[in-house]
Structure 1
Amino acid sequence: MRILSAAEAITPAIERTKSMFRPFSLRSFVKLGLVALLAEMGAQFIFPPTGHFASHSNSRSGAVSWSINQHAVVALAVVSVLFLLIGVCMLYFGSRMQFVLMDLVACRTTVVGPSWRRHGPKTWPWIGLKVATFLLAFLVIGAVAAWPLLHLIRSMPAKTGQPPSAIFFGNFLLLFAMVAGMVVVLMLCLWFLRDMVLPFLVFEDATMRQGFTSAVDLIRREPGGVLLYFLMKFVLTLVAAIAAELCIVATAFIVGIPVGLIGGGLWILLRHAGLFGAVFLYTSLGLLGLIFLVCLMLTIVCIVGAILVFYQAYALYFVGGRLAALGDLLEPPPPPFPEAVPQQFCPI
């Protein structure tokens, strides 16, 4: 497979995405959509809620407040542990699904089982690499953002009612720019790990260190090409988000109008029909609402799943020309020509 630029990889990625959903099958569509959504979930980190309960009791209600606070602390601890367990489970399944989705798109298949079993041992090291990378990014970002934050605090008005100075607004804009920069840096870290490092782990069976080093070498060889890839992906993300929103809103209108008309007609006909009519009315309205929600959720899974499959195909085609094992899967080489066997001369 030849090396493709960020712009050249778009067209084959679109064709690969189309082929993943042909022939059309709602079951396969939903299955791929759920796999893609779970894989995207692997990039998210869910932290338990934090906070504390301060005591504001006086001498008459001190004992009651202390008892309430004790129960609140226990409840908060239980909820925090539950959130942490749910977050770890979602992170694990999502991270494992990132391997699966990459395999499915590269091999143009919808069979999840073999890939799920093959990449199980690499899931926890992959999670560790992601967590370590994001912690390092947070430390660097925090160290850089500390300076404008301190200046913003120092420039705040000293007295209540005093209007803020121009220095305060300047420091606020600087801090806002720093926050936007943090988001961009974290997004680039996510794309670097998922689009540059993960292919080496999946198709070359590299270790975490080897995959990370290979991805860094790729960026060193083609810094301009990788930067253009990230820029193109950002633009494609904006365009796809707008298109997805429009499609979801259109689906909501298409499904919601007949459901609303049927529900309104039932309301007009049965609202004064006695007990049996009221039971039938509210049961029907509940079923109509459930139908609307199911149709809307199916639409979201299918549309967002198709977009995420395209993102995966786009990353694979960009890296495929630079990774021989992946390139042979995306564009299999032609079979070798059979060697001509010289015929022996047989005199007559």
Structure 2
Amino acid sequence: MPTRTSGGERFLELGLPAMNPVAYAALIALLVVAVLVLWVLFIYVNSVMRFVLFDSVVAKQCEIRQYWNRRQKPGLRYFAWQLLLFLAMMVGLTILVGIPATFALAVGWLKQSSQHMVPLILGGVLLFFLVTTFVVLWLIVLVFSKDFIVPQMALEDIGPMEAWRRLLPMLKSEKGGYAGYLGMKIVMSIGAAVIVGIAAMIIILLTLIPIGGVGAVLVLMGKSGGLHWNLYTITLAVVIGSFLLAFILYVVSLVSVPAIVFFPAYSIYFFAARYRALDAVLRPAPPPFLSPEPSSY
């Protein structure tokens, strides 16, 4: 007696077509290269848009095309700086994790771990705190680069290293102020993430409920009409899912706009009180008052 299989089982039975392992390797390599290219492109767009956002907050109006064309030079500098930061992160983590792991493997602690529990536990705790400290410091450098290095690069046409050289004396002279700024930003980021997350979840649910109902009706109609999972129906499902995902990402981005604008504005006005060039742009001096000349009779 033939056994009945469900739609999900038939979907799993489709499998992948037979393919040469070399072709699989080439496909994986192509995907890796594509992801790397997209990541670099994203970092570049993020770097230039950071200056676009700075100009928009300072000017209190958004002219993306104009600011984008004007900020290519500092954007490229900041792009290189961000790549350098990510490279430093990878090298630092490789050193912090790789050297202890290599040492533990060389002395045989990993092969006979049960006999070396004490040094492994103590070393693991120490390694955890070292990695955590390194990551926190890296994040502070990343945040301060966005908040305090970008304004200097935008206003004085200098590179990131020169901007950091000027920022360090400010940090040393007012450690408490910048530490308070960092703590306040963490608290506000958590609050904003909760609020934006709740709002986005409500919108997503309101969107998915009717779409899910329509999708369920279409699936039932397809089953009653004799449709089953094949190349065409899977492709159609992937296309519809991609459009739905793009719509959800758009909605979430739209909900996040107030937070995206607020935090750069907060950092700009905080830094303006400590950076004269930025303060002069935000609060330009009023024009000199010219007394009217006495009329001659």
Greater RCO (CA < 8 Å, at least 6 residues apart): 1
Q: Distance in 2 between matches of 1:248 and 1:200?
A: 34
Secondary structure at 2:291's aligned position in 1? coil
Q: TM-score, normalised by structure 2?
A: 0.72
Secondary structure at 1:124's aligned position in 2? helix
Q: Distance in 2 between matches of 1:70 and 1:290?
A: 29
Identity of aligned residues (%): 22
Secondary structure at 2:109's aligned position in 1? coil
Amino acid at match of 2:276: A
1:86 maps to 38
Structure 1 residue ranges without an equivalent (≥5): 1-67, 277-281
Secondary structure at 2:142's aligned position in 1? helix
Amino acid at match of 2:289: P
Q: 8 Å contact 2:200–2:252 — kept in the other structure?
A: yes
Q: Distance in 2 between matches of 1:163 and 1:90?
A: 48
User: How many Å apart are 1:265 and its aligned residue?
Assistant: 5.5
Q: Distance in 2 between matches of 1:112 and 1:332?
A: 23
Identify if the C-alpha distance between structure 1 residues 157 and 76 changes in structure 2 by more than 3 Å, giving closer, same or farther. Answer: closer
Q: How many residues were matched structurally?
A: 269
1:149-164 matches, cutoff 5 A: 149=101, 153=105, 154=107, 156=109, 158-159=111-112, 162=114
Identify if the C-alpha distance between structure 1 residues 117 and 174 changes in structure 2 by more than 3 Å, giving closer, same or farther. Answer: same
Q: Which digits, 9 at most, give the CA deviation of each residue in 1:273-301, with x for residues without a partner?
A: 6579xxxxx9xx96986775454222211
Structure 2 residue ranges without an equivalent (≥5): 1-19, 228-232
Q: Which moved more, 1:289-298 or 1:193-202?
A: 289-298
Q: Distance in 1 between matches of 2:211 and 2:101?
A: 52
Amino acid at match of 2:63: V
Q: TM-score, normalised by structure 1?
A: 0.63
Q: Distance in 2 between matches of 1:266 and 1:81?
A: 38
Q: Distance in 2 between matches of 1:302 and 1:120?
A: 26
Q: Which digits, 9 at most, give the CA deviation of each residue in 1:167-193, with x for residues without a partner?
A: 322322222222322321221121121
User: How many Å apart are 1:197 and its aligned residue?
Assistant: 0.9
1:339 maps to 290
1:37-116 matches, cutoff 5 A: 77-116=29-68
Q: Does 1:190 align with 2:138?
A: no
User: How many Å apart are 1:128 and its aligned residue?
Assistant: 2.6
Q: 8 Å contact 2:57–2:265 — kept in the other structure?
A: yes
Q: CA RMSD in A?
A: 3.7
Identify if the C-alpha distance between structure 1 residues 330 and 254 changes in structure 2 by more than 3 Å, giving closer, same or farther. Answer: farther
Secondary structure at 2:290's aligned position in 1? coil
Secondary structure at 2:292's aligned position in 1? coil
Identify if the C-alpha distance between structure 1 residues 297 and 217 changes in structure 2 by more than 3 Å, giving closer, same or farther. Answer: same
Q: 8 Å contact 2:48–2:72 — kept in the other structure?
A: yes
Q: Which digits, 9 at most, give the CA deviation of each residue in 1:259-283, with x for residues without a partner?
A: 3344455666x4686579xxxxx9x
Q: Which digits, 9 at most, give the CA deviation of each residue in 1:203-262, with x for residues without a partner?
A: 233344432222223212222211222222222222222222222221122222233344
Q: Distance in 2 between matches of 1:295 and 1:87?
A: 21
Q: Does 1:326 align with 2:272?
A: no
More helix by share: 2
